[in-house]
Protein backbone atom coordinates (compact mmCIF):
# COMPACT_ATOMS: atom_id res chain seq x y z
CA UNK A 1 0.00 0.00 0.00
CA UNK A 2 1.61 3.21 -1.15
CA UNK A 3 1.25 6.44 0.77
CA UNK A 4 1.15 9.51 -1.42
CA UNK A 5 1.70 13.07 -0.39
CA UNK A 6 1.19 16.28 -2.28
CA UNK A 7 4.45 17.80 -3.37
CA UNK A 8 3.63 21.38 -2.57
CA UNK A 9 6.30 24.00 -2.12
CA UNK A 10 7.50 23.55 1.44
CA UNK A 11 8.34 27.16 2.14
CA UNK A 12 4.80 28.40 1.70
CA UNK A 13 3.01 25.47 3.26
CA UNK A 14 5.10 24.65 6.30
CA UNK A 15 3.27 26.93 8.74
CA UNK A 16 -0.17 26.12 7.35
CA UNK A 17 0.48 22.41 7.65
CA UNK A 18 1.90 22.70 11.11
CA UNK A 19 -1.23 21.79 13.01
CA UNK A 20 -2.27 18.89 10.80
CA UNK A 21 1.31 17.77 10.70
CA UNK A 22 1.75 17.72 14.44
CA UNK A 23 -1.28 15.48 14.85
CA UNK A 24 0.14 13.16 12.19
CA UNK A 25 3.40 13.00 14.12
CA UNK A 26 1.60 12.18 17.37
CA UNK A 27 -0.28 9.31 15.68
CA UNK A 28 2.95 7.98 14.22
CA UNK A 29 4.67 8.33 17.56
CA UNK A 30 1.99 6.39 19.38
CA UNK A 31 2.22 3.60 16.82
CA UNK A 32 5.97 3.46 17.28
CA UNK A 33 5.58 3.41 21.05
CA UNK A 34 3.02 0.62 20.89
CA UNK A 35 5.22 -1.54 18.72
CA UNK A 36 8.29 -0.82 20.78
CA UNK A 37 11.59 0.51 19.57
CA UNK A 38 14.54 -1.84 19.77
CA UNK A 39 17.67 0.15 20.45
CA UNK A 40 20.55 -1.94 19.21
CA UNK A 41 24.04 -0.55 18.98
CA UNK A 42 25.39 2.79 19.96
CA UNK A 43 24.55 6.27 18.91
CA UNK A 44 21.67 6.07 16.50
CA UNK A 45 18.77 4.73 18.52
CA UNK A 46 15.98 7.22 19.14
CA UNK A 47 13.86 7.05 22.29
CA UNK A 48 10.16 6.34 21.94
CA UNK A 49 8.35 9.59 21.45
CA UNK A 50 5.79 9.90 24.25
CA UNK A 51 3.42 12.84 24.65
CA UNK A 52 5.07 15.70 26.54
CA UNK A 53 8.65 14.63 25.76
CA UNK A 54 11.16 17.44 25.86
CA UNK A 55 12.25 18.77 22.46
CA UNK A 56 15.35 17.23 20.88
CA UNK A 57 17.99 19.18 19.03
CA UNK A 58 21.63 18.35 19.50
CA UNK A 59 24.81 17.58 17.63
CA UNK A 60 25.69 13.90 17.99
CA UNK A 61 29.22 12.70 17.32
CA UNK A 62 30.85 9.29 16.91
CA UNK A 63 28.01 8.07 14.77
CA UNK A 64 28.05 6.20 11.47
CA UNK A 65 25.76 7.48 8.77
CA UNK A 66 26.06 6.88 5.06
CA UNK A 67 23.97 8.25 2.22
CA UNK A 68 23.20 6.51 -1.07
CA UNK A 69 25.98 8.22 -3.03
CA UNK A 70 28.89 7.25 -0.81
CA UNK A 71 29.20 10.12 1.67
CA UNK A 72 29.96 8.93 5.18
CA UNK A 73 29.27 11.10 8.20
CA UNK A 74 30.54 10.68 11.73
CA UNK A 75 28.52 13.48 13.24
CA UNK A 76 25.07 14.88 12.60
CA UNK A 77 22.44 17.18 14.02
CA UNK A 78 19.69 15.07 15.57
CA UNK A 79 16.72 17.40 15.80
CA UNK A 80 12.94 17.63 15.83
CA UNK A 81 11.54 18.54 12.44
CA UNK A 82 8.34 19.38 10.64
CA UNK A 83 7.16 17.12 7.82
CA UNK A 84 8.50 18.33 4.52
CA UNK A 85 9.38 17.53 0.96
CA UNK A 86 13.03 16.53 0.63
CA UNK A 87 14.63 18.18 -2.38
CA UNK A 88 17.44 16.82 -4.57
CA UNK A 89 19.09 20.25 -4.50
CA UNK A 90 18.63 23.42 -2.43
CA UNK A 91 16.04 24.77 -4.84
CA UNK A 92 12.26 24.75 -4.48
CA UNK A 93 11.95 23.77 -8.15
CA UNK A 94 14.20 20.74 -7.62
CA UNK A 95 12.83 17.20 -7.88
CA UNK A 96 11.46 15.83 -4.63
CA UNK A 97 13.55 12.80 -3.74
CA UNK A 98 11.43 11.97 -0.71
CA UNK A 99 9.40 13.14 2.27
CA UNK A 100 10.32 13.70 5.89
CA UNK A 101 7.38 12.47 7.93
CA UNK A 102 8.82 11.40 11.27
CA UNK A 103 10.55 13.44 13.94
CA UNK A 104 13.26 13.80 15.07
CA UNK A 105 15.61 13.20 12.15
CA UNK A 106 19.32 13.20 11.34
CA UNK A 107 20.88 16.14 9.49
CA UNK A 108 24.59 15.47 8.85
CA UNK A 109 25.52 18.63 6.94
CA UNK A 110 24.18 21.88 5.48
CA UNK A 111 24.31 23.90 2.31
CA UNK A 112 22.78 27.23 1.23
CA UNK A 113 19.97 28.09 -1.13
CA UNK A 114 16.88 30.27 -1.43
CA UNK A 115 15.61 31.66 1.87
CA UNK A 116 12.78 29.99 3.76
CA UNK A 117 9.77 32.01 4.96
CA UNK A 118 11.87 33.30 7.86
CA UNK A 119 14.72 34.53 5.68
CA UNK A 120 17.14 31.72 6.59
CA UNK A 121 19.12 30.47 3.56
CA UNK A 122 20.45 27.34 5.22
CA UNK A 123 19.33 23.99 3.84
CA UNK A 124 19.94 20.81 5.83
CA UNK A 125 20.82 17.41 4.32
CA UNK A 126 18.79 14.43 5.48
CA UNK A 127 17.15 11.17 4.47
CA UNK A 128 13.38 11.20 4.06
CA UNK A 129 11.06 8.60 5.56
CA UNK A 130 9.53 7.87 2.21
CA UNK A 131 11.32 7.70 -1.12
CA UNK A 132 10.00 9.90 -3.93
CA UNK A 133 11.79 10.31 -7.25
CA UNK A 134 15.20 8.86 -8.08
CA UNK A 135 14.70 5.77 -5.92
CA UNK A 136 18.41 4.87 -5.96
CA UNK A 137 19.12 7.96 -3.86
CA UNK A 138 16.83 6.39 -1.24
CA UNK A 139 15.23 9.67 -0.21
CA UNK A 140 18.38 11.66 0.56
CA UNK A 141 18.26 15.41 -0.13
CA UNK A 142 17.91 18.80 1.54
CA UNK A 143 15.17 20.62 3.40
CA UNK A 144 14.83 24.37 3.99
CA UNK A 145 15.94 25.63 7.39
CA UNK A 146 12.52 26.12 8.98
CA UNK A 147 11.78 22.40 8.67
CA UNK A 148 14.46 21.79 11.31
CA UNK A 149 13.08 22.88 14.65
CA UNK A 150 16.12 24.63 16.09
CA UNK A 151 15.50 26.20 19.50
CA UNK A 152 14.94 29.95 19.39
CA UNK A 153 18.22 31.85 19.38
CA UNK A 154 20.28 29.01 17.87
CA UNK A 155 23.02 30.23 15.61
CA UNK A 156 22.37 29.46 11.93
CA UNK A 157 23.68 27.28 10.46
CA UNK A 158 23.82 24.97 13.47
CA UNK A 159 27.21 25.40 15.14
CA UNK A 160 29.89 22.83 14.28
CA UNK A 161 27.70 21.13 11.69
CA UNK A 162 29.86 20.66 8.58
CA UNK A 163 28.98 22.08 5.19
CA UNK A 164 28.09 19.40 2.64
CA UNK A 165 31.19 19.30 0.45
CA UNK A 166 29.53 18.41 -2.84
CA UNK A 167 26.80 21.07 -3.20
Q: Which residues bind other proteins (CB under 8 A)?
A: 1-4, 7, 28, 31-32, 35-46, 49, 63-66, 69-70, 72, 88-89, 94-96, 101-103, 127, 129-139, 166-167
Q: Residue 156 — φ and ψ, nearest 5°? A: -115, 135
β-strand pairing of 130-131 with 122-127 = unpaired
Is residue 100 within 8 A of residue 131, CB to CB? The reply is no
Strands of the 57-66 sheet, one edge to the other: 57-66, 72-79, 105-107
**Euclidean distance between CA atoms 104 and 44, whole angstroms:** 12
**Euclidean distance between CA atoms 103 and 46, whole angstroms:** 10
* Minimum CB distance to other proteins smaller for 84 or for 101: 101
By CB atoms closer than 10 A (0-12, 13-18, 19+), residue 112 is middle
* Minimum CB distance to other proteins smaller for 28 or for 152: 28
Minimum CB distance to other proteins, residue 89 (Å): 6
* Minimum CB distance to other proteins smaller for 34 or for 152: 34
Minimum CB distance to other proteins, residue 79 (Å): 13
* Minimum CB distance to other proteins smaller for 3 or for 155: 3
Minimum CB distance to other proteins, residue 61 (Å): 12
Minimum CB distance to other proteins, residue 77 (Å): 16
Amino acid sequence: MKTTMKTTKANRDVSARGHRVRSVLRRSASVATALGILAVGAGLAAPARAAGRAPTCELRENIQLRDAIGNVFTKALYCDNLPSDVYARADFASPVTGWLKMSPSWFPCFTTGPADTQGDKTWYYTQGDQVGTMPKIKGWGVVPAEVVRLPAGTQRPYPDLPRCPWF
